Amino acid sequence: MKGLYTALMCSFDEKGNVNEKGLREIVRYNIDVQQVDGLYVNGSTGENFLISKEQKKQIFDVVKNEAGDDVKLIAQVGALNLDEAVELAQYATNLGYNAISAVTPFYYKFDFDEIKDYYNTILDSVDNDLIIYSIPALTGVNMNLEQFGELFENEKVIGVKFTAPDFFLLERIRHAYPDKLIYSGFDEMLLSASVLNVDGAIGSTFNVNGRRAKQIFELAQNGQIGEARELQKVTNDLIAAILDNGLYPTIKEILKVQGVDAGYCRKPMKALDAAGVKQAKQIAERHL
Ligand code: NGF
């Protein structure tokens, strides 16, 4: 399960329906062109928190059908409705997803016992492994080393997607739990995380920059830090430009430049205006 995983985008039509043809093209582009090791399906980048349970299942179906066993597949099933999270975990497991992942429950300020119960309830319902999805900036849930340790006590919790700029905590987790998988979640910090010996990374920008990200990861693993730093600089020029223009709509527009039918984002996300579309095309020309 080690390696680089694209946090997969989903193609939607103007009304917000899943554009299955476009989604298949995104899957193929990531596997055949970006050559990533795996796909992280229905995460933040997949606009998971903006779609219905039925759409989540539809996306799990289409991605598995298109990818087959070409790459590893992780299904993000986390939801505030725990019954839904359980149902999705079972659904993805039955489809053959290699692991599930669940975002820490958010919005209500759950205490740690409640968070632990959420993970154990999901895991008790499936014969599959789970990767914790920790993204404190969006969930407001900050867990400490001891709390990660308590979640890791469940052997089916095989790792964490660590989307935070806290390298002190990252190093402590790495040191304390050498057998758990740690995936770096911020693409702009991939080199720094790789130096701390993470096992892989999961990122949105890998949809268009996966090959370069993989090089950064491999160079760092080989101790070629100077070359990795150069590539991280080029990558961060790209990421800064994407963030400036609007993260998900810009990645979709760049995919379209590459001939991939990436479609629209779900409302309330805005579509790019004409200037934004032009800017996205320039980003692709200048930075890819
Ligand atoms: O998009 C976000 C939100 N984070 C992603 C990634 O951590 C999300 C990250 O790649 C993800 O894996 C998922 O879809 O679940 C950033 O977009 C990237 O580093 C640019 O900041 O923060």
C-beta neighbour count of 79 within 10 angstroms: 23
Looking at this protein, which amino acid is placed at residue 30? N
pLDDT at 35: 98
pLDDT at 264: 97
Running along the chain, 288 residues long, what does each successive block of 10 average in pLDDT? 98 97 98 98 98 98 98 98 98 98 97 98 98 98 98 98 98 98 98 98 98 98 98 98 98 98 97 97 97
Q: Domains of the chain (ranges plus CATH)? A: 3-223 (3.20.20.70)
pLDDT at 210: 98
Burial class (CB in 10 A: 0-12, 13-18, 19+), 241: middle
Can 278 be counted among the known catalytic residues?
no
87 Cβ neighbours under 8 A, 6+ residues apart: 53
The tokens 């998988």 sit on which residue? 181
pLDDT at 206: 98
Residue of 161, 214, 252, 256 with catalytic role:
161
Read off the DSSP letter of residue 155: T
Binding residues for aceneuramate: 44-45, 163, 185, 187-188, 204
Measured in Å, residue 6 CA sits from the centre of ligand 1 at 10
pLDDT at 113: 98
> CB of 249 within 8 A of CB of 272?
yes
C-beta neighbour count of 186 within 10 angstroms: 20
pLDDT at 131: 98
Cis peptide before 178 (omega within 30 of 0): no
pLDDT at 29: 98
- What residue's CA is closest to ligand 1, atom 10? 203
pLDDT at 64: 98
pLDDT at 288: 94
Read off the DSSP letter of residue 32: I
What residue ranges line ligand 1, CB within 6 angstroms? 7, 40, 43-45, 138, 163, 185-188, 202-205, 239, 247
ipTM value for the complex:
0.98
Best residue among 45, 48, 160 to mutate for probing ligand 1's pocket (most ligand atoms within 8 Å of CB) is 45
> CB of 99 within 8 A of CB of 158?
yes
